[in-house]
């Protein structure tokens, strides 16, 4: 039990550290996060990310060879916006006006919103995944990002 408590405390502290770092980035405007000053996701603007997402979905759709019965679930899955779309992100100018605890609170609010978005995304993904055959599930698994991949798609 003591190990479980220690693990929970460590995870909580890691979460707070991430939120603090995120708030710091927001406060600085996120212009240069160590990736050459391109802003955003290493120079990827939202239009470019959306185009990449659409291309990925089109390739995935082709590889899955969906049946007519699976198309409804696919359409619902494909209509789900990418999880990291930048909406409801705190305004850097407003963040700069806040003190450290207020910035951390804003960062935490953003993390909670992202968690809710991920929960919605997971529900739609599970619904789609359930209508796939085992062979299609393997293709889907190989094509989707894994934790730690840093946005690189598997199976390229």
CA–CA dist 86, 50 (Å, integer) = 11
pLDDT of residue 80: 84
Instruction: Give the tens place of pLDDT for each residue, 114-139.
Output: 898 889 989 999 999 999 999 999 99
CA–CA dist 105, 5 (Å, integer) = 25
Per-residue DSSP letters for 84-128?
---TTPPPHHHHHTS-HHHHHHHHHHHHHHHHHHHHHHHHHHHHH
Q: What is the pTM of this model?
A: 0.60
CA–CA dist 43, 11 (Å, integer) = 31
User: Which regions in the chain score pLDDT beneath 70?
Assistant: 1-45, 82-88, 146-156
CA–CA dist 85, 52 (Å, integer) = 12
């Amino acid at each position: 039990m003591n190990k479980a408590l220690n693990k929970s405390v460590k995870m909580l502290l890691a979460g707070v550290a991430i939120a603090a770092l995120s708030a710091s980035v927001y406060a600085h405007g996120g212009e240069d996060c160590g990736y050459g000053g391109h802003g955003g996701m290493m120079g990827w603007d939202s239009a470019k990310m959306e185009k990449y997402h659409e291309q990925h979905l089109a390739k995935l759709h082709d590889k899955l060879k969906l049946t007519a019965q699976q198309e409804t679930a696919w359409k619902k899955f494909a209509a789900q916006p990418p999880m990291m779309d930048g909406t409801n992100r705190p305004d850097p100018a407003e963040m700069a006006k806040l003190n450290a605890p207020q910035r951390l609170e804003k960062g935490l609010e953003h993390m909670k919103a992202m968690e809710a978005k991920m929960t919605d995304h997971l529900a739609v993904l599970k619904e789609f995944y359930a209508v796939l055959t085992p062979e299609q599930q393997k293709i889907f698994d190989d094509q989707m990002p894994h934790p730690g991949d840093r946005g690189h798609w598997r199976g390229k």
